[in-house]
A and B are shown apart, each in its own frame.
Chain A
Amino acid sequence: MRRSRLGARVFSRGHVGAFLALAFAVFGGGTLVTAGAVLTETGLRAQVPPERLAHAQLLVSAPQRVPVDEDFDVRLLDREPVPADLAERIARVPGVEATAADVTLPVSVSPISDSRVRSALTADAHDWAVAALASPPLHGSAPAADSIVLTRELATDLGESLSTGALETGDRVDLSLGDTRREVRVAGIVDAPGAAVHLSTATVASITRERVDLIAVRLDDGADTDTVAEAVRDAVGPGFVVTTGDARGAVEALGVGNARLELLALATSIAGTLPLLVGCITASALATAIAGQRRELALLRAVGATPRQVRDLVAGQATVAAAVGLAPALLLGYVLAGWCNTKLAAAGVVSVQLPVVVSPLAGAVVALLTLTIVRVSARAVALRASRRPATEAIGEAQVEPRPPTRVRTGLGLALLGLGVIPAFAALVIRGEDAFLSAASGTLAGIVGLALAGPVLVRAVTGRLARGTGEGAPVTRWLAVRQTRAHALRSAGSVTVLALAFSVTAVQVYAQSTLERATAHEQTDGVTAAARIVGAMTPVDLADVAEVDGVEAAVPMVSTSVLRSNRWLGETTTERFSALAVGPDADRVLDLDAVAGDLAALRGESVALDATTARRWGVGVGEQVALRLGNGEQVDPVVVATYQRGLGFGTVVASTDLLTMHGLARSYDTVLVQGDAQAIDGLEAWADDRPGQRVTPLTADAALTTERPWLERWLGVVVLIPMLGYVLVAVAASLRTTTRRRREEFATLRMLGATPRQVLSMVTREAVLLSGLAVAAGIGVAVLPMSILGAGVLGRPWPQGPLWVLPAIATILVVIAVGSMRGTTGRLLRRSVSP
């Protein structure tokens, strides 16, 4: 062992460049993977301490997830309720001082000044009994049937619009709660966190009778939290979750739990695909490093090293190089994770900013994984070189590695073909599945290219060689022949450059095509005259409907539904984003119905995307088993199936379905049908309401989804550092392979080639390599994206900014030419000697 370590030190001295390339590959990849791992750990373990319910040492809630056989549970995004009478059972447990049932109701509050309702704000309302558990500083008295308590923050916000300062005890406000509006008195102002309204227990009970969000529990002074928690668990049974400590934060605010889920999904998708990429780059850097010392390895074999010793030696070298790159990568990864976390929350991709979990675990896992991968792949790459008979090894050490086997080429060609086929799915199926299958096909194409690359490069350059005969300039003539003769070496560079090109093309065009198709369907599908955005209650909706000229006002709520399906004998549960719309949906929306009518969307009913309905095997008039976002099982009737699934989602439900099953949410958007007078009236109505915005919809104004740009383009944003990393790795590998050609350049120089001729030859080789890569990228990525464009939008070319293709092609050429020409220039500055 010690001998081979010594060998590693002495030996790698001559190949510092190649091993630096490996160290760099590990550094770049390690940084990104560490950041992904830290965010994954944050998604798994981050906790935000509770605020509003901080004084309740225990929170008892529903599990908030649907169990799935042999898979991770599916989280419910809306609050899963618990029975209100649970509070009494908990109150009987020794050590419990008091309990209170917590609910969150959407209300809108407007101060009344000079007998006029002013500036309405939408807020969450809670039962005063919950806040009272903490005995917070209250100015005034507790709320009663005709009065409410405001938090200091909300009182200030409401007062600002009156320019009279914050509201005070005794002021009168208009309160919309459920579908009623009444005038109430401000009984008190409380110094508690957030902008909220507190109602009397009786008022809350008139809205929600049996089901509440959770039970807040306050313990006796001196009671041991863990002991009481255990007792409460026994009292409530296994169907409920008892939470203590900082974990309560995620129970109080569903957003925290949802953010963890969002972050986890995001981080695992990055941390999941990255190791593949890093593995490829590292393996290629390793292959270059080992190819550079084939002669030394052969010599070692000749002087008596066993194949195993040779592999030990190579693995030792690779481990040292990887460790050099890994150490700074781990540090930088943690910093990068913190930065990403802030940016993601600021852009709204993640609902709530979670504190990054900084523990050595993520770093340790990445380090262990990376070093293992490097060691194993170093042994694998060195396997063939180490096993050959020592004599043969010396003889062949100077020539190119042996040509690839037929099996490899055949498999590669098959994968290349298979890569394009999924794109054709877009011609038949609609929806996001088409995008997914087209984009995933590209991956197969890239792997195919890596396998069949040498043979393809040889075939193409062979054809070029026949085309560049005696008459061609000598540098072009040489460049074509050199590229062809070193097909294996060239194919490696072509594959990585093509990977960069195709991954960029797919990320950009899959997203832009999806956006265009979605916008297209939404523009065509919304027939309303105006749209109002901002949280609104049923009472607000009634106000809108009464504006002169308004023919229909249809509320919409974004939610999610779960569907369990049996597929090949296994039950899978999937979550789908869903849109809930109010009655008269047919007057503001045209979903391009295949069967049924949107006018029937009232009560317990849904409309389904036609492709999905086919897959689920349900038709119009039949019932479909779903779970709502809060876990309630429902069996609504399918009243219509529609084509515009990209623009409007898989499921369009009736808002009645939500309210009938305890999902009384405020509306996100209201679509209004009416004339010009209606729009003027709406704008006047919205003047007094800072929370709502009215937008008239002209024929070409799309109902663009309000997703933040970072979320939509996250794929591309994540891609940029990865791409930079890939390209720097390619540049390093090209420099290493060019450096190995020192003797060849010296020979050419002695045979009469001027430095300019050698440079020109290398430049042409670089242009040829990057040209081949771009051609391959067009085949692997642009072709599927064009088929996708044809299938989804009827336009057979990539849908999106076309300048991306020439831009990335130029970057590839600049990198290839820059690294190969630069290295050659440095080699040529040395004096010519045999």
Chain B
Amino acid sequence: MAAGLDTPTTGQVFIGGREVSRLNETRRTLVRREAVGFVFQSYNLLPSLSVAENITLPLRLAGDTGDPSWRDEVIDRIGLRPLLDRRPAELSGGQQQRVAIARALAARPDIVFADEPTGALDAATADDVLGLLRDLVDDLGQTIVMVTHDPRAAQWAHATLMLADGRFSTAPSMARPAAVPAGDVVESQ
């Protein structure tokens, strides 16, 4: 709902300062593709497109060429340069998720929603991907909202909200990897 995929029955949703809950489906789509990036548990890459084409797909759909230097920076930062001509089926799970992250960032969204981004990955690869997400926040100033069941994944966040039985509850204090600065825990209202 916060990503503008669905509309609330009560309350309001603001993305980048715009109220989206009363927009129709097409207008919400336009807001989404400008301001929101998505990363999914199952990657959701289009098997018919190459890595490069998958990354630029959201931009093409927006009829936008985007910022080539930003795109190059993202590709290099994520380490996809050697894989650009491959098809998703030729990549490992970790590599596919990196492509999905690059795709989410390509349009320089205000916010990236990541839904269980490591749910399908082994522990080592998951750590790599989470490290990458954290680096993107730290180095590029990207806002990322991640949903996860994995307490280890949650440790990488600056702030954590716990959702239990449909309500936010105060997050317990968590141990964090040494390299990661502690974030604020936002409490539910």
Q: What is A's interface to B at a CB cutoff of 8 Å?
A: 399-400, 474, 477, 481-482, 484-486, 743-744, 747-757, 831-834
Among B23-31, B152-160, B165-173, the stretch that binds chain A is: B23-31
> Of B48, B58, B63, B89, which one neighbours A751 at CB under 8 angstroms?
B58
Q: How large is the interface on B (under 10, 10 to 19, 20 to 34, 35 or more residues)?
A: 20 to 34
Which chain B residues in 34-52 approach chain A with CB under 8 Å? 38, 40-42, 44, 46-49
With A752-B29, A753-B29 as contacts: A834 and B62 at CB distance below 8 Å: no
With A751-B58, A754-B29 as contacts: A834 and B63 at CB distance below 8 Å: no
Given contacts A399-B89, A754-B25, A831-B5, 8 further A-B contacts (CB under 8 A): A399-B47, A481-B49, A484-B48, A485-B47, A751-B61, A752-B29, A753-B29, A755-B26
* B residues less than 8 Å from A400 (CB atoms): 47
Say whether B46 contacts A474, CB under 8 Å.
no
Q: Which of A400, A485, A750, A756 has the most CB of B within 10 A?
A: A750
Q: List 16 A-B contacts (CB under 8 A).
A: A477-B60, A485-B48, A486-B48, A743-B44, A744-B46, A747-B46, A751-B33, A751-B103, A752-B58, A752-B62, A752-B107, A753-B29, A753-B61, A832-B6, A833-B5, A834-B42
Closest A-B pairs by Cβ, 3 of them = A752-B33, A485-B48, A474-B60
With A747-B44, A751-B103 as contacts: A834 and B38 at CB distance below 8 Å: yes
A481 to B60, CA, bound (A): 14
A466 to B84, CA, bound (A): 17
B135 at the interface (CB under 8 A from A): no
B115 at the interface (CB under 8 A from A): yes
Whole-angstrom distance between the Cβ of A116 and the nearest chain B Cβ: 89
Say whether B40 contacts A834, CB under 8 Å.
yes
Say whether B60 contacts A750, CB under 8 Å.
no
- Count of inter-chain pairs, beta carbons less than 8 A: 65
A575 to B162, CA, bound (A): 90
A756 to B27, CA, bound (A): 12
Whole-angstrom distance between the Cβ of B73 and the nearest chain A Cβ: 20
* A residues less than 8 Å from B89 (CB atoms): 399
Say whether B63 contacts A754, CB under 8 Å.
no
Say whether A757 contacts B48, CB under 8 Å.
no
Say whether B6 contacts A831, CB under 8 Å.
yes
* A residues less than 8 Å from B42 (CB atoms): 834
* B residues less than 8 Å from A744 (CB atoms): 46
A143 to B66, CA, bound (A): 108
With A831-B5, A832-B5, A834-B115 as contacts: A752 and B40 at CB distance below 8 Å: no
* Least CB separation from A482: chain B residue: B48
Say whether B61 contacts A757, CB under 8 Å.
yes
B127 at the interface (CB under 8 A from A): no
* A residues less than 8 Å from B103 (CB atoms): 751
A757 to B30, CA, bound (A): 12
* Least CB separation from B29: chain A residue: A754
* Least CB separation from B65: chain A residue: A470
* A residues less than 8 Å from B53 (CB atoms): 481
* B residues less than 8 Å from A757 (CB atoms): 61
* A residues less than 8 Å from B134 (CB atoms): none
* A residues less than 8 Å from B46 (CB atoms): 744, 747-748
Whole-angstrom distance between the Cβ of B56 and the nearest chain A Cβ: 9
> Of A399, A481, A485, A752, which one neighbours B61 at CB under 8 angstroms?
A752
A512 to B49, CA, bound (A): 47
* Least CB separation from B45: chain A residue: A747
* Least CB separation from A752: chain B residue: B33
* B residues less than 8 Å from A748 (CB atoms): 46, 61
* B residues less than 8 Å from A750 (CB atoms): 5, 32, 38, 40, 44
A756 to B58, CA, bound (A): 15
B99 at the interface (CB under 8 A from A): no
A474 to B63, CA, bound (A): 8
Say whether B32 contacts A752, CB under 8 Å.
yes
Whole-angstrom distance between the Cβ of A3 and the nearest chain B Cβ: 32
A751 to B57, CA, bound (A): 8
Whole-angstrom distance between the Cβ of B146 and the nearest chain A Cβ: 14
Whole-angstrom distance between the Cβ of B117 and the nearest chain A Cβ: 11
A743 to B33, CA, bound (A): 18
Whole-angstrom distance between the Cβ of B11 and the nearest chain A Cβ: 18
* Least CB separation from A761: chain B residue: B61
A753 to B38, CA, bound (A): 13
Say whether A756 contacts B62, CB under 8 Å.
no
* A residues less than 8 Å from B49 (CB atoms): 481, 485
Q: Which of A474, A477, A756 has the most CB of B within 10 A?
A: A474
* A residues less than 8 Å from B29 (CB atoms): 749, 752-755
* Least CB separation from A829: chain B residue: B25
Whole-angstrom distance between the Cβ of B6 and the nearest chain A Cβ: 6
A477 to B54, CA, bound (A): 12
* A residues less than 8 Å from B58 (CB atoms): 751-752
A536 to B60, CA, bound (A): 81
* A residues less than 8 Å from B62 (CB atoms): 752
A757 to B57, CA, bound (A): 12
A645 to B25, CA, bound (A): 70
